[in-house]
Chain A
């Protein structure tokens, strides 16, 4: 019981209410830029072109339509681009997990801080710097028409994320458990496979979600490497922007469709994502 409560419960309750309102208000101010542009996009996607360019701007349309969404699917091969994005994101995340989880385990157990620093550097370096040599390489190999080079370049983003998240998770595990397994005659691989990995399952979940999100959102790799048929969703949306005159309705409808999976994933797995981002110490993009 605080002093406040002893003095007068009503005054205490009032103070708390004011405090809560103040807190809510400051949170609202902080997130309003992010929320407002999203709401505006939502509004644009449900209005016809006339309302979209109207002045003063219309926020809530009188007659909301779904035409913009219909147009997205009619005018583009949207499903193909969605499939491309799914293949690339899942492929890159899967391969990154195969490589990254054992790598993170090794680095954590060996205290290989130099290797960890190297991974951090790979995470920090802008993706564009990898792109020039990779682009030339794929051109020489004649692979530019397929999804393979895009999956491979996305590994540049996903592998460091997975390794870095896994290092901090494996470092948090008590070493006694694996030591017990080793004493009982397990090989180091068995200790990893049957003891450490099941315990680190929450870490693997975090790594999967994060690397999927970053791969899904990535723009420049596919922008440079993708051909007409192998565009991923962000590139497809960008192309809607450049090649037609700007049709705000279909554009924001497409942008919303691209954002939706990641947005839902973020809402569902909020807690894990925050844990993963702070574990990495660096927010990559």
Chain B
């Protein structure tokens, strides 16, 4: 049970970390240069600063696939916890 809960926690925190936007945007806006640019910040800049909406949408799809893989892992651990 304990390692399962730990893994579940790690996965959900992982997703949270991938979603981090506010802090980075407010402090550095991805700068200096692109040193602190995460997928989220990159996405935001492409879509709403440079108006490359099509390109940004493609990035969203790729990002979504990554998130889905993590979500599948999370659901799987949840299922395992329920069974045991």
Interface residues of A (CB under 8 A from B): 117, 120-121, 124-129, 131-133, 135-136, 219-220, 224, 234, 238, 241, 281-283, 285
Contacts and interface: CB of A to CB of B under 8 A. Distances in A.
* Residue with the greatest number of chain B CB neighbours at <10 A, chosen from A121, A128, A281, A283: A128
Nearest to B56: A132
A128 B40 contact: yes
Q: Which 9 A-B pairs have the closest CB atoms?
A: A126-B19, A129-B60, A219-B22, A282-B12, A124-B71, A132-B47, A124-B15, A128-B43, A128-B40
Contacts, number: 64
Given A124-B74, A219-B22, A282-B15, 5 more contacts: A129-B60, A129-B63, A132-B53, A135-B48, A220-B44
A125 B15 CA distance: 9
8 contacts: A120-B74, A121-B71, A124-B71, A127-B21, A132-B60, A133-B57, A219-B21, A220-B22
A124 B75 CA distance: 11
B47 A126 contact: no
A117 B78 CA distance: 11
Interface in B13-70: 13, 15-16, 18-19, 21-22, 25-26, 40, 43-44, 47-48, 53, 56-57, 60, 63-64, 67-68, 70
A120 B71 contact: yes
A283 B15 CA distance: 9
B53 to A, nearest CB: 6
B16 A285 contact: yes
Contacts of B7: none
Contacts of B68: 121
B33 to A, nearest CB: 19
A281 B12 contact: yes
Contact of B64 (A125, A135, A234, A238): A125
Contacts of A129: 43, 60, 63-64
A126 B57 contact: no
A120 B75 contact: yes
Contacts of B75: 117, 120
A34 to B, nearest CB: 14
